[in-house]
Structures are given as structure tokens and as C-alpha cells.
């Protein structure tokens, strides 16, 4: 299996980096081929702009997604985007490895998503959810956060973690067609003992060794909707 691990943490000695290294070690030991995109180390540019295209279809007004489609056709994507897109298309499994910032992903990772999940390949028209351009690939989100596990849930102070991650899991990863695995979560990381950190690393290695047993999260399928994307009525009993 080909694996692309996209890592987004500014501190090379962070526990998030330890999760990255554990993933690479575990997956390579299983015989998988792994590429790592360490966004901070790469000095990744997160800003989507007109500079992302070597030529423009409409130079006087930027519609970013439409220019992406044209750049896909004419080979006009910026070199850094094309390199990451090539890795993504090569991969059978994508791992996004990051700390939660303000109920979301770090800005540098959001910029990777904005620039690399290009219209015309990853999505476009009715190419979304199970018909998305990345259908057939799996994705695992590996996150660290400062909150304790009891702070997340239906009646908890922050609500369900799934609600916090919904824009990423559903609005991005499922939208482009990938099978979204349940996230791996390391809780309360800045405040726990080294022993607890080692336990998380062991749990992560075991999870990666058993990925083929994971059931993807459930998201809409286009067959559940008509040609105008209205939900099909359930057959009456």
C-alpha cells in the first residue's frame, strides 16, 4: 500500500511529531511505502492565490476553482501544488497528522487542502461523496489536543468531537470521495505523563496494524438522491 502522511506541527520534538514517526515506522515495517509531507519543514505556502497558475483563463477576475480546472487541463498548476497532488494521487491511504487549533486544523494544513484538492481532479460537478475524484482511497485523521476525553460528547462542554471535525471529515475528505476512517485521538497531550504518551503511541501502532479491520464512517451516496440532488422518497411499507 502507498501511504502519504501530511504532518502539520511547528515543533519537530512535539508529540504530534512522535505520532508521525510511529506511523512511518509501523507502516514501513508492514511493507508499505510511505511518503511524508512535513508542511512546516517544507515551508509550505498555505495561501491560495493567482500565483498558483502559470497562465489564467480569465486574467481580469480570479475564480480559483475554475482556474484550477483549466490548469489541470493545460498543465499550469504551480510546481509545489503539482508535487503534492502527484503524491496524493499515488497514495492508497492519506494520513493527516496535526494538533487541533480552535476546533479546526492548523492554517498551514488548511492551505494544503485549499491548494492541493484541486477542482477538476478531486471534485467538480457531481463528482463528490461516493463519486468524488479520490474514491477508492482511504484517509485517517490523527489528532492531538489539550482537552480531556470527558469534555467531548453529547452532553459535554464542547459537544461531540465528530461535530468539531465535521467540516474536515464530511465537508472535505468524504466530499472528495475518500473512505474516512474513524479518527485516532490523543487526549490532553500537553499535560499527561511520559507513560501515558507511550501508551498512546502503542495504541496508534496497533490501530495502524489493523486498519483493514476499520469500518469507514457513513456519509451520503449520490444514489440516495435524484438528478437535482433532492433526497429520494423512501418506499412506503
Q: Is residue 229 part of a domain?
A: no
- What CATH number does the domain containing 144 carry? 3.40.50.360
Q: In which residue are the cell numbers 485516532 written?
A: 184
**Residues present in the chain in total:** 237
Mean pLDDT of 145-167: 92
Q: Is residue 236 part of a domain?
A: no
Q: Model pTM?
A: 0.94
Distance CA 142, CA 99 (A): 8
The tens digit of pLDDT for each residue in 162-187 reads: 999 999 999 999 999 999 999 999 99
Give how many domains the chain has, as a whole number.
Answer: 1
- Expressed as residue numbers, the domain containing 92 is 2-224
The tens digit of pLDDT for each residue in 1-22 reads: 999 999 999 999 999 999 999 9
Q: And the C-alpha cell for 19?
A: 505520532
Q: Is residue 193 part of a domain?
A: yes
What was the pLDDT predicted at 236? 47
Check: CB of residue 201 under 8 Å from CB of residue 19: yes
Distance CA 120, CA 216 (A): 25
Q: Is residue 231 part of a domain?
A: no
Q: Is residue 235 part of a domain?
A: no
What was the pLDDT predicted at 234? 63
Amino acid at each position: 500500500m502507498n501511504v502519504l502522511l501530511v504532518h502539520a506541527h511547528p515543533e519537530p520534538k512535539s508529540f504530534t511529531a512522535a505520532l508521525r514517526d510511529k506511523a512511518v515506522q509501523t507502516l514501513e515495517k508492514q511493507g508499505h511505502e510511505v511518503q511524508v509531507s512535513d508542511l512546516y519543514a517544507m515551508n509550505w505556502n498555505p495561501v491560495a492565490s493567482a500565483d498558483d497558475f502559470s497562465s489564467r483563463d480569465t486574467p481580469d477576475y480570479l475564480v480559483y476553482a475554475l482556474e484550477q480546472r483549466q490548469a489541470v487541463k493545460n498543465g499550469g498548476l504551480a510546481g509545489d501544488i503539482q508535487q503534492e497532488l502527484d503524491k496524493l494521487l499515488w497514495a492508497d491511504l492519506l494520513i493527516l497528522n496535526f494538533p487541533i487549533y480552535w476546533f479546526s486544523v492548523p492554517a498551514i494544513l488548511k492551505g494544503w487542502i485549499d491548494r492541493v484538492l484541486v477542482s477538476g481532479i478531486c471534485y467538480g460537478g457531481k463528482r463528490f461523496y461516493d463519486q468524488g475524484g479520490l474514491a477508492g482511497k482511504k484517509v485517517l485523521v490523527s489528532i492531538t489536543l489539550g482537552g480531556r476525553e470527558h469534555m467531548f460528547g453529547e452532553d459535554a462542554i464542547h459537544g461531540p468531537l465528530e461535530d468539531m471535525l465535521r467540516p474536515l471529515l464530511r465537508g472535505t475528505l468524504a466530499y472528495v470521495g475518500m473512505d474516512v476512517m474513524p479518527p485516532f485521538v490523543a487526549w490532553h497531550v500537553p499535560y499527561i505523563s511520559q507513560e501515558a504518551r507511550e501508551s498512546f503511541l502503542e495504541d496508534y501502532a496497533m490501530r495502524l496494524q489493523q486498519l483493514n479491520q476499520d469500518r469507514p464512517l457513513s456519509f451520503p451516496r449520490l444514489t440516495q438522491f435524484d438528478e437535482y440532488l433532492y433526497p429520494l422518497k423512501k418506499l412506503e411499507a
